[in-house]
Structure 1
């Protein structure tokens, strides 16, 4: 159950396909496209990265861009699937509303696999949630990871009971800013019977001042969960570097992420964190979760 790291490539007949999730991988895609063309392949490239880039990129000169490829997500992880597209929330830092729409497109005949990557499971119509769950039950397929997770505002007792029947992985949801506090706290109390490692909360940092972001991290810990901290990066960034705002620095954004995601908070507060100590590994891509940790 491993992820490709945001870049997938394969060939079919005389065509090479490149699927690029992150804009900072476009230069890699350009190099791979040149290599495939030298071998005589036609090259097609697609994915979220190409939707995001508004400026011209040299990849356009060597590959056909855009179009649809059925079940492309399985090229990034053969155990991944998706039963719906779109999300009604409209977060300003998220590509999904612009790329897939703010109304759901339901895919009832989705291939049932262990990693479910729908954008917002708890906001789906109740009957379609039950349809997804029944497909897993009928096929005897364990749901090992609801990868993109649930929305605190729509996660209630009925949603929890419904998905608890099949969800064998962590309960994933986000705590993106201070206005979400009431809903996140409510959900954490609902999940109080779950072990900490199964309450995986994405905490966006850099979108609010330092103290506000740290407060959200500490609240997740106090409520019995494990924060997964993600520094804000612009959607069209051509380098994988956090975008610096408020009283943050790039160094502090990276340090807070490593302190939190390496579970150093179990041993010391951030004020005592020393990036040079061998307390945690450098940031790497976790193939099991499909996340940078």
Structure 2
């Protein structure tokens, strides 16, 4: 039997698997097996964030996939950092195929999101504008982008907020800033790159339960709009179901 293994945890444990399986490699359009309406037009990301698995899995240089299948969910890691002509190529392919872009899922990089990028993607993006606010150093860039999107509905300004990588107060400040700037936070607790389980990893003054509680509170507008985190009780019932696999409510 031939076995091939992949996924984030594998890339940090190669020596344990090398004798029993083929590690990594490329399976064209593998994302469609996870989500049949998803596609990828590029791999890799030049930013190289220390907490991100993408550089280890796909590299810090972009690999462009010009003949990608056009589907409603686009999962590229960093759309705004792609070469401008390739961004134009992606958009032209969507327009030619008549396929709506319902979700640019991994989103844009605040440092490289400018007026040209906004105008370019505004032509086809029918879903939320997704960005990351990973640490305090990104504050001026995220604030600039949120002001650029001032006329966009809050539900279409979804900001990935990493928590646990900084002390509790700093992370909560970032969540509250996203809300104050007219967006909706999507909180993601920090996890170790070599984790084999979907369990948050506490650092600084965090613990695992606190990471889960903040994610549950922040990822439901029905909760944070009515209740400050200081008054939040995890025993409170909601009509929504929290999915720990995605960190979102269904």
TM-score scaled by structure 2?
0.93
Q: Could you say which residue in structure 2 is the equivalent of 1:228? A: 186
**C-alpha RMSD over aligned residues:** 1.8
Q: Is the 8 A contact 1:262 1:280 kept in 2?
A: no
Q: Is the 8 A contact 2:40 2:75 kept in 1?
A: yes
Structure 1 Cα separation of the partners of residues 34 and 19 of structure 2: 22
* Number of corresponding residues: 247
1:205 maps to 2:163: yes
1:51 maps to 2:16: no
Cα 1:55/1:218, change in 2 over 3 Å: farther
Structure 2 Cα separation of the partners of residues 42 and 102 of structure 1: 30
Q: Could you say which residue in structure 1 is the equivalent of 2:232? A: 273
Of the three residues 146, 150, 162, the one matched with 1:188 is: 146
Structure 1 Cα separation of the partners of residues 128 and 110 of structure 2: 15
Q: How many angstroms does 1:236 deviate by?
A: 1.0
Which sections of structure 1, spanning at least 5 residues, go unmatched? 1-40
Q: How many angstroms does 1:85 deviate by?
A: 1.1
Superposed, which structure 2 residues align to 1:1-293 within 5 Å? 42-54=2-14, 56=16, 61=20, 63-263=21-221, 264-279=223-238, 281=240, 283-284=242-243, 291-293=246-248
Q: How many angstroms does 1:53 deviate by?
A: 2.9
Q: How many angstroms does 1:285 deviate by?
A: 5.5
Q: How many angstroms does 1:54 deviate by?
A: 4.5
TM-score scaled by structure 1?
0.80
Which sections of structure 2, spanning at least 5 residues, go unmatched? none
